[in-house]
Amino acid sequence: MQWVYFGKLYTSKYQADCLAKRLEQDGWIYGYDDPYSVEIFRSRRGRYGVRFIP
């Protein structure tokens, strides 16, 4: 199992957290499998991103 990185970095952790929650919740709304794990990470330059394991 490998991490899949979402293609955009955000300036605030709040923005990345909103995307992470959306990834977790959209599966049951649209009928596809939920990601195994969703995580917020911080890049070397201080921006935030989202990665997940499908």
pLDDT digits (tens, 9 = 90+) for 1-54: 798 898 899 999 999 999 999 888 887 677 677 788 899 999 999 999 999 888
- Say what the pLDDT of residue 48 is: 98
Q: What are the b/e assignments for 21-45, b being 16+ CB within 10 Å?
A: eebeeeeeeeeeeebeebeeeeeee
pLDDT at 34: 77
Dihedral of alpha carbons 11, 50, 7, 14, sign? negative
Range of the domain at 35: 4-53
pLDDT for res 31:
67
Question: How many domains does the chain divide into?
Answer: 1
